[in-house]
Amino acid sequence: MISTDENTPISWAALEFLAKSMGQDALARQIKRTTVSDYDQFIDVLYADIDAIVHELQLNPELRKDDDEDRLSIEIKGNLTHLGYGAAHESKIGGHTDLSVQYKGFIWIGEAKINRDYEHIFQGFQQLTTRYATGDEGQCKGGLIIYIKSNNSKQVMDRWRANLNNRGITDLEFVESSIRPDHIFFTRHTHERSGRPFTTRHVGVILGFDPKDHK
Amino acid sequence: MNAESAIHKLAIDWASDKDVQAAGEALIRYLFSERSGQLHLSFRRLIEISNSSPGVTFRLAQYLTGETLPLLKQRFELILDDDVWELEDHQVRFAAVHGQLMHPDTGTPVPHYKEHVFPFYEKGDGLVD
């Protein structure tokens, strides 16, 4: 039993218990965040934090049904700011990025699209990989966040993956995700400007809302 | 940076959460009033100073140990009987990632380490002149 009474010092175990309302692993993520010392550690914890934020976003799709890309991205940006990241929407990095995150000198850029059609999503991929990210060390990973407001979000992600695969992108490879594999996958390809490998994390956000009880 | 500019920044970033704003203002005023000395604040002390719930205090601590308004640095100490070890970031990180804390002196795993490790907060870069 964890004591949290007023006279007992708060241990790691007690703080972990108190922080659970912000996710089962909220304290572990905070520790990983504040002890980041290299780019891969930054990316690992950032992705865990984004996944936790996406989890919350998905809980109330009825509240998001009228939100556009900007409004949804601003919400993710706000949550990242609360976690301590230097997050921005529409910051000027080769253009106006949907989401940029700076932390301890590392940078990550995300582009966000509603699944209007696959050309629209591809435009986001192109913006991310050819306009915003330099592809240099410490900036060789980015994200494409896809807000899916229709039903069968898994099918949307499957079709997006197939669509991207048919675009003739040089050296494009697909890498599976161990987390939410039906809605997250990675691509790796040669970044045009830097000539270095660039990894994109494609994240589907389930925001469909089509209840059949009241019409 | 001074207390007023920090409070202004907090108010912008937490515009939708009045609880964190109020707690943060109290904590920021305290931190700037104490900035010339050493700080070693327990999480319990943060709750007292911010006059808020543990949940609000945790959210506030996450924010203030981050990039935007870095007024605090979170650290941990291992306390066994009457002996205290201030842990290095890499030691704490190893425990968070692998679920095992190695004793700073002996290098052997500390049983039930989460019961013996306590967070504390020092001045962050934003408080250092």
pLDDT digits (tens, 9 = 90+) for A64-84: 888 888 999 999 999 999 999
Q: Which of A88, A95, A43 lies closest to A70, judged by CA?
A: A88
Confirm or reject contact between A22 and chain B (CB < 8 A).
Answer: yes
Segments forming the whole domain that contains residue B41: 3-72
- Residue B70: left if φ>0, alpha if ψ -120 to 50, beta else—which one? beta
Is the domain of B56 the same as that of B40?
A: yes
Q: How far is B124 from chain A (nearest CA, A)?
A: 12
Q: What is the pTM of this model?
A: 0.92
Angle at B40 between CA B37 and CA B41, to 5 degrees: 120
B-facing residues of A in 43-102 (CB < 8 A) are 78, 81-86, 102
3-state SS class at A81: helix
For residues B72-93, average pLDDT: 95
B64 with B90, same domain? no
A105–chain B Cβ distance below 8 A for any pair: no
- A69 neighbors A114 (Cβ within 8 angstroms): yes
- As for how many domains chain B has, the answer is 2
Shared domain for B108 and B67, answered yes or no, is no
For A23-55, write each residue's pLDDT tens digit: 779 999 999 999 999 999 999 999 999 999 999
Q: Is B128 part of a structural domain of the chain?
A: no
Residue type, A54: V
For residues B33 and B44, membership in a common domain is answered with yes
Q: Measuring CA to CA, which residue among A179, A154, A2, A144 is closest to residue A69?
A: A144
Query: pLDDT at residue A4 above 60?
Result: no
In-domain check, residue B46? yes
Amino acid present at A176: E
Same domain, yes or no: B13 and B67: yes
Average pLDDT over residues B42-59: 94
- In this prediction, residue A5 carries a pLDDT of 57
Residue B110: the pLDDT is 97
A132/chain B closest Cα distance in angstroms: 22
What the block records as the tokens of B92 is 């704490």
A130, burial (CB in 10 Å: exposed 0-12, middle 13-18, buried 19+): middle
Give the 3-state secondary structure of residue B31: helix
Whether B94 is covered by a domain: the verdict is: yes
pLDDT at residue A1 in the model = 44
pLDDT of residue A189: 94
Residues B92 and B66 in one domain: no
In a domain, B7, yes or no: yes
